[in-house]
Chains A and B, each alone.
Chain A
Amino acid sequence: MNESNYQDLSELLHLFLDGELESGKETVLFSELASSEELRSEMRDFLVIRNKIRTDSIPVAPPIEATASVFSSLGFNPSLTNPNSVAPFSGLVLSTLKKLWAPITTAIVASLITYFALNNNFDYLTTQSYIPMMVSYSIEPITQDIANNTGQTEKVIYKYINNSLPAQNLASQDPINQNNQALNENSSAEKYFEMINQSQFAKNQRTSDYLLKDNEIKLKQISLGNIPFNLNQSKQPKNDNNEYSLQLRGINGISFPSVQVPYKQNTVFSNMSAAFYFARFGNFRIGFEFGNEPFGQVFNNNENGTEWQYTQNAAIYWAGLDIMYIFDNELLFTGGPQPFVQATFGGTELGPLAKFITGLQYFSKETGIGAIIGLEGTLLSYINQKVWYNTKKIGFTYGMSFHF
């Protein structure tokens, strides 16, 4: 092949790569490509350059002053309040904001709610150092036992006194300490210890805690002394006892396989989900949820004997049944936000889908408003030409809920 011939073939190659080569000349080009390493090398080089250029083709928004200048030159008002006048933020910035406004807004609101919720807890934890305040919530049954005047109960009281020594200076605010004081008017703590009916105690072969029966758990909590977490539980369970709740959350995840194809997003409802929880069984919640988010897909398709690989990033709607389990507060000693896990089983127009979320939720009983934040994993299965494919997504999620 001489240089002139190669030049011609090279031109044919570029026309072909641009989609401008007449079909009659394709045969010539293909046969030369099969035999010429030089031509194949040129094709490879050009494809490398073209692919790289495509990563550099994102439009850059013009500067705001340029936009203002254009509009003022034409006597227009570049008012940002006009819904059609978004030019200063056009291009990449605008498209990015359009994609992210919902999750950003949700995240900010959720963060604010969580912040204030934690702030309340901070105040509450501070007050926990004042033992009498806690006692006022949980000791009432014990005072009744005191009234019953059982020896074992007295022993427990003695134990309690030992554990609450730091709070003795506040005893005047505390009903149980007031009782203790009343008892102490007649004798010391040691005296009451001596008053325990030792023979009865030995006969029963039981600890005094056990004998307290209904009060057992609360006493155990108290006997831990100043550890705030258990005592916090006695103040106000944060479990959401409301029967129904609505939840709106943003989803920010990445797909595996990862694809670089832009997706056609729904500007109103994209990368989001909405859920309605309609039943509650103990710590379980059952609900229905639907959402819209993109899933990267790579699959093969046989067309007339030729195997093609398709890559797409489809923004699709999904819907499913939610099963949520909310842990009790003491599990993580958070005092406020509660850990939860959730599984969603449902489907899409492409195939079945499952989601798994773990995170924290906070719920204010006063306002009915809650917030969640967590990690999410998703599995989408779909079938093409009798072959099943999977897309996995991982990411984080955050949102708000309203309980009623």
Chain B
Amino acid sequence: MKNDFEQYDDVELFYLMKSGSGSSEQAFKVLYNRYSARIFSYCRKFLGNKEEARDVFQEAFVRFYQSAQEEREMTNVPAFLLKIARNLCVNIKRKDTSTLTFEDYMSSSYEKSDNDELLNLIRMAMELLPIEYKELFILREYEGLTYNEIVNVTGLPLATVKIRLFRARQKIREILAPYLADLSKY
């Protein structure tokens, strides 16, 4: 019998969380250890605000644990966690009707790589995307999800995922066009 929870895979740990015994807490801690950084990074990128990201992150893990107590079939724990976090982020963004300006972006607490101009421009361009494009761009480019996984996380039709992702990239390319043109000269 395995006595080290680190040896269990995600799905085994998820079902151990349901057990309600002492192993439930241990299983949660291991899963938290595995995915907390990824979920927090996702929230940071999605919301662009550290305080909001922290609130959503906390809520996401609490809901994750509570959801384990319900009857459900689990096949992909990180995708499930991303789904919870994404729904919470979308809710926050829907309530927040303000528009992020360039000045807001420059003064935001988002960590910037001062020495990497292109990276900062990509981040800025991403902030300028409509939220429905931005969320798909993050899931695909930062989280590395396949189209089907994105469908699973967002609940959107595959065709919608494809076209929004394509438009998100076109938009980012448009914003970066002057810089990319300079870059191609060298």
Chain B interface: which of A48-56, A196-204, A334-342? A48-56
The answer to whether A74 has its CB under 8 Å from any CB of chain B is yes
The CA of A255 and the CA of B152, in the complex, are separated in Å by 41
B28:A74 contact, CB within 8 angstroms:
yes
Interface residues on B, range: 35 or more
B36 and A87 form a contact (CB under 8 A): yes
Chain A residues 1-60 with CB under 8 Å of chain B are: 10-11, 14-15, 18-20, 41-42, 44-46, 48-50, 52-53, 55-60
Q: Which residues does chain B contribute within 8 Å of A76, judged by CB atoms?
A: 25, 28-29
| Chain B binder among A78-86, A148-156, A376-384 | A78-86
**Chain B interface, DSSP helix/strand/loop, else mixed:** helix
Interface set, chain B 50-88, CB cutoff 8 A to A? 54, 57-58, 61-62, 65
Interface centre among B25, B29, B144, B176 (most CB of A within 10 A): B29
Q: A230-251 vs B: 1/0 string, CB under 8 Å? A: 0000000000000000000000
Chain B residues whose C-beta falls within 8 Å of the C-beta of A85 in the assembled complex: 29, 33
Contacts of A66 in B (CB 8 A): 40, 54, 57-58
Cβ-defined contact, A55 with B119, below 8 A: yes
User: Are B184 and A41 within 8 A (Cβ)?
Assistant: yes
Which residues A337-373 have CB closer than 8 A to chain B? none
How far, in whole Å, are A92 and B140 apart by their CA atoms in the complex? 21
B40 and A52 contacting across the interface, CB-CB below 8 Å: no
Tell me if B142 counts as interface (CB < 8 A to partner A).
yes
Within 8 A of A (CB), among B100-124: 111, 113, 116, 118-119, 122-123
Task: Report which of B6, B33, B118 forms a contact with A52, defined as CB distance below 8 A.
Answer: B118
Minimum CB–CB distance from B81 to chain A (whole Å) comes to: 12
Given A73-B62, A74-B62, answer yes or no on A15-B119 (Cβ-Cβ < 8 Å): no
Of all A-B residue pairs in the complex, the 10 with the closest CB atoms, nearest first, are A91-B37, A59-B37, A62-B40, A59-B41, A70-B61, A85-B29, A66-B54, A84-B29, A59-B38, A60-B41
